[in-house]
């Protein structure tokens, strides 16, 4: 199934960041990669330790979204969840921060693929796909 990401017109707020996810989308569309490698559930997969498996896969993902320009905004985004303290997030390595982001993006792409949601955080422009992250 081809991922159908549509172009959305949005007003960019100062606390939003666009992450180019074109390579991830292309790998998913071509079958070179599978979204379920990075985000899945026990109920869907039947695998009791699926969280450990997908976390390990996300840490090893070939997609590098964390840079000097994206690190702080990504940390702020995850701090907004309230699941981790700012100190915990600050202690994450770039690899760990990237892994959490890979899982988030994979989950949202899966929702689009399954046609269960399009929260508006993923869009296409000029042949590239982007993930909009806000804090």
Under the banding of pLDDT at 50, 70 and 90, the label for residue 31 is confident
Whole-angstrom distance, CA of residue 4 vs CA of residue 37: 20
pLDDT at 123: 83
CA dihedral 60, 1, 127, 72 (to 10 degrees): -30
Domain ranges of the chain: 16-134
SS3 48: coil
- Tens digits of per-residue pLDDT, 59-110? 999 999 999 989 999 999 999 999 999 999 999 999 999 999 999 999 988 8
3-state secondary structure of 80: coil
Whether the Cβ atoms of residue 105 and residue 5 lie closer than 8 Å to each other: no
Residues 52, 120: Cα–Cα separation, whole Å? 28
Q: 19: which DSSP letter? A: E
């Amino acid at each position: 199934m081809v991922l159908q990401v549509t172009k959305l017109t949005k007003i960019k707020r100062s606390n939003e960041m666009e992450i180019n996810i074109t390579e991830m989308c292309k790998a998913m569309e071509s079958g070179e990669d599978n979204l379920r490698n990075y985000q899945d559930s026990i109920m869907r997969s039947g695998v009791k330790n699926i969280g450990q498996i997908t976390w390990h896969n996300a840490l090893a993902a070939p997609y590098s979204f964390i840079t000097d320009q994206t690190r702080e905004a990504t940390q702020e985004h995850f701090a907004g969840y309230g699941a981790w303290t700012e100190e915990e997030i600050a202690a994450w390595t770039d690899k760990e921060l990237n892994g959490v982001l890979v899982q988030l993006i994979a989950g949202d792409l899966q929702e689009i693929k399954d046609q269960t949601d399009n929260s508006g955080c993923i869009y296409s422009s000029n042949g590239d796909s982007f993930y909009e992250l806000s804090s």
